Amino acid sequence: MATIAQVALFAGVSTATVSRALNKPDVVDEKTKAKVREAVDALGYRPNQVARGLASRSSRTVGVVINRFDSAYYGQMMQGAEKGLRSVGYKTIAESTCEHADGERAAWNSLLDRQCEAIILHADALSDDELRELYKARRNTVLMNRYHPDFADRCVYLDNIKGGQLAGEYLLSKGHRSIATITGPSSYYEARDRLTGLRQSLANAGIELDPALVEEGNFRDDMGFTCMNRLIDSGKTLSAVFCQSDEMAAGALDACRQRGVRVPEDISVLGFDGLDLAYHLTPKLTTVRQPLREIGEAAGLLAYAVATKSTDHSDIKRIFAAEVVERSSVRDLNDGS
């Protein structure tokens, strides 16, 4: 590994000149630059970016803290974030936390010790209060797909209320009136917002969401299965159920299959997330897609803006809208009438 000193020696110039030739080419003479280039090629010199970072106090690195990488939900955001960061020449140090608040805290700290200029945090386990507390000391943080009222300008997230509304409106437009829903944990603002949105859209149509048709799940498929069974057992009339995640919809579909309930003939099922999974279910799942890659990418760019202390972030989109991906799990009741 050649160092800048060796290059300088070889080229017969000072290290400062080599540094300039490489980083501020317009400030140095053509001929000198040629000599430097020659030396660089001859020695196969590649600047040590760590030393560079230490001297210039800029690591060009951001940390991404995420629950886990082995699920499409996180994977898409990770992909987006890394892509955004890569596009501006930044590196991504990735760390998973295994759904542990301790892990989230530890990762946050250790990434800062590594001189990450910003941290992209997907905090699942940390509470709003703790987040606020920690954020005070670490202002260079971006929240990915989570909203926190105290630093909304550092949050990139989906408008979950509108997402829930969209779900309701879609179902209404297909003629559904008896609508059930399987939500995420009520401790998650996403779950609450989506429910609020659903309620609003129904209210706009003069329909009140029946509390008996609201089941609280946990976003995972086994709870989708359980909740769907409960709904079926309730004996209540229902023509459609809106699941707040595709995974729960998968479980719900399983339950229907086992109970001999046909989807969408007997009951329509609408998912949320828009993962590849939805496409592979039977019937292919109609779902409300969150643009996770885009959210990740925006988080990456916002992190970059934070890192470089650029004052104007107004060009970076922070609130994203969900959209319906129409497939075959929702029946159009208008057809028959």
Partner DNA sequence: ATGAAAGCGCTAACAT
Partner DNA sequence: ATGTTAGCGCTTTCAT
**Residue 61 touches DNA, criterion: CB under 7 A:** no
Of 173, 325, 330, 161, whose CA–CA distance to 240 is shortest? 330
Closest contact distance (angstroms) between CB of 116 and its own copies is 10
**Residue 27 touches DNA, criterion: CB under 7 A:** yes
What's the rounded Cα separation, in Å, for the pair 299 and 289? 18
What's the rounded Cα separation, in Å, for the pair 210 and 240? 13
**Encoding tokens for residue 147?**
């909203």
Q: Which residue has the tokens 């079926």?
A: 232
Considering only 17, 18, 21, 74, the residue that binds its own copies (CB under 8 A) is 74
**3-state class of 326 per DSSP?**
coil
What DSSP designation does 205 have? T
**223-252 positions binding DNA, by CB under 7 A:** none
What's the rounded Cα separation, in Å, for the pair 319 and 333? 33
98 conformational bin, left if phi > 0, alpha if psi -120 to 50, beta if neither: left
Segment contacting its own copies (CB under 8 A): 7-15, 87-95, 161-169, 200-208? 87-95
Question: Which residue's CB is nearer to its own copies, number 88 or number 93?
Answer: 93
**3-state class of 247 per DSSP?**
helix
Q: Please choose which of DNA, its own copies, none residue 109 contacts, taking the beta carbon within 5 to 8 angstroms, the exact cut-off set by kind.
A: its own copies
Closest contact distance (angstroms) between CB of 34 and DNA is 10
Considering only 93, 125, 207, 319, the residue that binds its own copies (CB under 8 A) is 93
Closest contact distance (angstroms) between CB of 80 and its own copies is 8
Which residue type, as a one-letter code, is found at position 40?
Answer: V
What's the rounded Cα separation, in Å, for the pair 243 and 215? 9
Site string for its own copies, 220-249 (x = CB under 8 A): -x----------------------------
Closest contact distance (angstroms) between CB of 54 and its own copies is 6
Residues in the chain: 337
**Residue 112 touches its own copies, criterion: CB under 8 A:** yes
**Residue 205 touches DNA, criterion: CB under 7 A:** no
What's the rounded Cα separation, in Å, for the pair 292 and 298? 10
**Residue 4 touches DNA, criterion: CB under 7 A:** yes
Residue ranges binding its own copies (CB under 8 A): 46-51, 53-54, 59, 61, 64, 68-72, 74-76, 78-79, 82-83, 86, 91-96, 109-115, 221, 250, 257, 276-277, 280-282, 293
